[in-house]
Amino acid sequence: MQDLTATLVQCELAWESPADNRQHIESLIAEERDHTDLIILPEMFTTGFSMNALANAEPPGGDTAQWLQSQATQLGCAVTGSVAVRDGDKVFNRMLFATPDGLVHYDKRHLFRMAGEHKRYAAGQERVCIEWRGWRILLQVCYDLRFPVFSRNREDYDLALYVANWPAVRRDHWRSLLKARAIENLACVIGVNRVGEDANGHGYSGDSLVFDAQGRILGDLEDRAEVRRVPLGGEALVTYRERFPGHLDADNFSLHAD
């Protein structure tokens, strides 16, 4: 299993300004060409965590999807983050995963009711794992982190990605839960959060993190606006799972979404 280099983009987001955010992020990642395998952006990276779902939603294949595809092609890597997408008569908080070969998506399953997200967006029904450069990757969005059954490793992923707008007031929860997901699932975990303050006055401390399967920190961006590359060791992951095959004793159950 080959190594994978991930680039974490921890930045401020302009409120409900997709073009400005795309332009800013494009300038931040311009130097990543041929240096990384995967670029991870925050949740709702074009607007911030806005509940103006209909006003902000793009159609499938809209400007941001096209931009992500263009960036993936130009930089020779995968680029992922979530945006509001109107598909049919519903709006989803949709995580888009773009590669030079195409685009796949995951719709956020667990909607943050404390902000009224469940009233403005539709919940996704499917758990999504994709393969990229020899790594099986689970796509997850923010509040999904609090529901370990949904992210349970069924021996179908090596890396879990969590993109977020996770407020500073609950930063300890974020840091603790990311570490727990890595340890319990024998998988690498990356969480990418934003910094700054949004139009609702919520502050974000960043704390974007990379953990290996033993829960050891490989990268910690703390509270700085920063773009950082972090290498993940493929052989180290395989070796650890062989030495500590806890997954063989996992409880056998299946999950059915309502």
Q: What is the CATH number of the domain that holds 31?
A: 3.60.110.10
Q: Determine the structural domain holding residue 186 and report its residue range.
A: 4-247
Instruction: List pLDDT tens digits, range 180-239.
Output: 999 999 999 999 999 999 999 999 999 999 999 999 999 999 999 999 999 999 999 999
What is the set of active-site residues? Answer: 43, 108, 142
Distance CA 147, CA 134 (A): 27
Instruction: Establish if 216 belongs to a structural domain.
Output: yes
Instruction: Establish if 256 belongs to a structural domain.
Output: no
Total domains present in the chain: 1
103 contact partners, CB below 8 Å, separation of at least 6: 65, 68, 69, 96, 97
Identity of residue 190: I
Instruction: Establish if 252 belongs to a structural domain.
Output: no
Burial class (CB in 10 A: 0-12, 13-18, 19+), 141: buried
Instruction: Establish if 253 belongs to a structural domain.
Output: no
Instruction: Establish if 150 belongs to a structural domain.
Output: yes
Q: Name the percent of the chain lying above pLDDT 90.
A: 95
Instruction: Establish if 196 belongs to a structural domain.
Output: yes
Beta bridge partners of 102: 99
Distance CA 19, CA 138 (A): 28
Instruction: Establish if 144 belongs to a structural domain.
Output: yes
Instruction: Establish if 111 belongs to a structural domain.
Output: yes
Task: Output the pLDDT for position 258.
Answer: 60
139: left (phi over 0), alpha (psi -120 to 50) or beta: beta
Structure tokens given for 43? 């949740």
Instruction: List pLDDT tens digits, range 122-140.
Output: 999 999 999 999 999 999 9
